[in-house]
Amino acid sequence: MKNPAIPDVPSRIVPRGDHLPDEPGTERLVRAAREGVPGAAEDLWSSQAPRLIRAAIALGVPMEEAEDVVQESLLSAFRNFGRFDGSRAPFEVWTHRILVSRTSNWHRARRRLRLALSRLAGEDRPAAELRPDEALAAAEAKRTLHRLTAGLSSIRRRVWVLTQISGLPVREVAEALGLREETVRSHLRHARLALERAAKEKS
C-alpha cells in the first residue's frame, strides 16, 4: 500500500473534500491519503492539527511553541504511516499517543535547560561565599551554556540571553534590538528549539 508523501504545507489549510471516498470523517481521509489521492494527505494534516494543538497546550506546552510540537508529531505520524493499524486504534488515538511522546521530550529538554540556568544562579553570589563544589558546578554550567548557545545565530543568542538570562520582557527586548515583538518571539522560539536539541545531544 502506497504511503503518502509528507505534506509540505502549513498546519492550517481549508480541506477541499471533493476528491475523498464516501466514508465517514477521518477514516475516509486516512484511506484517501494511503491510496495517494492528490491533496488527501494535506487535508488529513489540517483536520488533525487544531485538535493536537489544543492537546499540546493542555499538556503544558506554551501556545507559541505548541504548533512546533504538533508539526513534529504529525511529521512522525506521516513518516510511519505504514505502521498505523486502524483495527487496533483510531487515527486520532494513534496521533495523540505520538503527541504525548513528543510532549514528554519537550518537557525533558526544558527541564535540562532550567537546570543549567539554575546552576548559573551561583554567579550572582560573591566567589568567597561559594563552596568549592558550588564554584565548580557554576563554572561547568557556564561552560555548558556557552557551548549550547555557540550554535545560535548572533541575533537569536542575544534574544535568548536578554529574555532568559536578563529576564527582560519581549517588549523591552524588541525596543533594545530594534525589532518587532513578533520577530523577537519567533527568534526566541527557534532559539529554544535549537538549545533543546543541543542539550539532548550532549546529555
- The answer to the question of residue 188 being in a domain is yes
Q: What is the DSSP letter of 152?
A: S
Residue 96 and residue 36 share a domain: yes
Instruction: Residue 143: give its domain's CATH number.
Output: 1.10.10.10
- The pLDDT value recorded for residue 107 is 82
Residue 90 and residue 129 share a domain: no
Residues 6+ apart with CB under 8 A from 57: 63, 66
Instruction: Residue 31: give its domain's CATH number.
Output: 1.10.1740.10
Question: How many whole angstroms separate alpha carbon 112 and alpha carbon 116?
Answer: 6
- The answer to the question of residue 87 being in a domain is yes
Which band of pLDDT confidence, cut at 50, 70 and 90, is reported for residue 55? very high
Average pLDDT, integer, range 54-79 = 88
Average pLDDT, integer, range 190-198 = 81
Q: Provide the sign of the torsion angle of the four alpha carbons 173, 176, 181, 183, taken in this order.
A: negative
SS3 assignment, position 61: coil
Residue 94 and residue 178 share a domain: no
Residue 134 and residue 88 share a domain: no
Domain count, the chain: 2
- The pLDDT value recorded for residue 130 is 57
**Residues spanned by the domain of 34:** 25-107
Assigned C-alpha cell, 59: 499538556
Least confident of 26-35, 69-78, 128-137, 174-183: 128-137
Please check the confidence at residue 52 and state whether its pLDDT lies above 90. Answer: yes
- The answer to the question of residue 6 being in a domain is no
Residue 179 and residue 193 share a domain: yes
Per residue in 83-142, pLDDT (tens digit) is: 888 888 889 999 999 999 989 888 877 776 666 555 554 444 555 555 676 666 666 666
- The pLDDT value recorded for residue 10 is 37
Report the chain's mean pLDDT, rounded to a whole number: 75
Kindly report the CA angle at 162 between 130 and 156, in degrees rounded to 5?
Answer: 120
